[in-house]
Amino acid sequence: MTKAILVNYDYCTGCHSCEVACKKILDLPKGEFGIKVCEVGPFQYSEREGVKGIWEWTYMPVITQACDMCAERTEQGKMPMCVQHCQAWCMYYGEAEELVKKMDGQTRWSLVTVKE
């Protein structure tokens, strides 16, 4: 079974708590990240059918190569630091096969696994 992190980034507020919590547990120097919140927008769609007139302003946490899925913590039954500190409760940790079932086809999700 493969462990994964699932993010419903429609609900990510861009608060950066996951980023800060991860930097602390990985003890990374300035400018390096285990997870990094990226921002798209804000901009307004001008022509495209279906989205014309609506605003895009999306935050999405990107998990980097430094991530080890918080192996030490999860082996003790704890949540990964980023998941535990997510202010919007939009991050989940578990078996990839189970997490996929949460993806509802109505909101935007990203499912990430890392090299074990």
Chain residues binding ligand SF4 by CB under 6 A are 7, 12-18, 21-22, 25-26, 34-35, 37, 59, 61, 63, 67-70, 80-82, 86-88, 90-91
**Residue with Cβ nearer ligand SF4 (38 or 52):** 38
Q: Which is nearer to ligand SF4, 91 or 99 (CB)?
A: 91
How far is the C-alpha of 21 from the C-alpha of 7, rounded, in Å? 16
Cβ proximity to ligand SF4, 52 vs 108, nearer residue = 108
Strand 35-44, strand 91-95: pairing? unpaired
Tell whether the torsion through CA atoms of 14, 17, 18 and 22 is positive or negative. Answer: positive
Q: Smallest distance, Å, CB 94 to ligand SF4?
A: 12
Looking at beta carbons only, is 24 or 52 nearer to ligand SF4?
A: 24
Find the shortest distance in angstroms from Cβ 54 to ligand SF4: 21
